[in-house]
Amino acid sequence: MQEQLSKNRVIIEYDGKKNISAAITSSTHERKSRCNIHMKNGKVYMKHNSLGDDVPIVVILRAMGATSDQEIVQLVGSEPDIMNAFMASLEDSQSVGVFTQKQALLYIGTKMRVPPKAGARAMRQQSS
């Protein structure tokens, strides 16, 4: 674990179970955010402080416009050992029913945390 947060730099480390993870803490003068890419049960997930749950990395890549499995494999790496390690993550996207960019964006939208102010504002607008 790093002693001091490095802003806007990727930190790669191993967790207690010897799984590799990447973390980045981004900051502006208005806010800070933290993003982690990590392995869980042999699959790759992204965790972000604006999301309530981990999101499969393939869903994130589909949301960014990489819609075919072939395109995703080319982005990640087409070496046989990388493809084999990433196969479960590709299947994870299918298991949550995400095949297109629109489906991926909608899926991520369901995982978003609503800031307290935004939630209260939306409720006031609905009652008006």
User: Pick from 9, 61, 24, 18: which is nearest to 39 by CA?
Assistant: 18
Q: Judge if pTM exceeds 0.85.
A: no
Give the model confidence (pLDDT) of 35-88 as tens digits.
Answer: 999 988 889 999 998 898 999 999 999 999 998 988 999 888 888 888 888 888
Domains defined along the chain, listed by start:
10-112 (3.90.1110.10)
Closest by Cα among 91, 30, 23 to 56: 91
If you ran DSSP here, which 8-state letter would residue 97 be given?
T
Using DSSP bridges, classify how beta strands 10-14 and 20-27 pair: parallel, antiparallel or unpaired: antiparallel
